[in-house]
Amino acid sequence: MAAVVLTLTLCVIFAGGTWLMVGARLPLDADPRQNDILNLFAYAGITLVVVLPFVFFVIEQL
């Protein structure tokens, strides 16, 4: 359970940081506000692929 919480927390932090640094680069919707939200979810999905194996690898080493 702690691994899931840690994974989701890191995913949200990294996705938010990516969104702040890169911005809304993906044209997912015509509405700018909706596009920002969808970009944030897209970045979260992308970072989930990286963060999930990293968290389980670190927990395995403990």
Report the alpha-carbon distance of residue 33 to residue 55 in Å, rounded. Answer: 32
- Quick: pLDDT tens for 1-59: 889 999 999 999 999 999 999 988 889 989 989 999 999 999 999 999 999 999 999 98
CA 38-39-42 angle, 5° bins: 90
Q: Which helix (H) or strand (E) holds 34?
A: helix 32-61
The pTM is what? 0.82
Domain ranges of the chain: 2-61
